Amino acid sequence: MSEFLTEQELIDLTGSQQRAKQIKALKKNHIHYFERFDGKPVVSRQAITLAIRGDLPGSTVAGKDGFNIEAISH
**CA distances to 2, 16, 43, 66 from 27, in Å:** 22, 14, 12, 14
Q: Does 9 score more than 90 pLDDT?
A: yes
Q: Rounded CA gap, 52 and 20, in Å? A: 22
Please tell me which residue, 4 or 57, carries the higher pLDDT value. Answer: 4
pLDDT of residue 32: 95
Q: What is the mean pLDDT of residues 33-57?
A: 89
Q: What is the pTM of this model?
A: 0.71
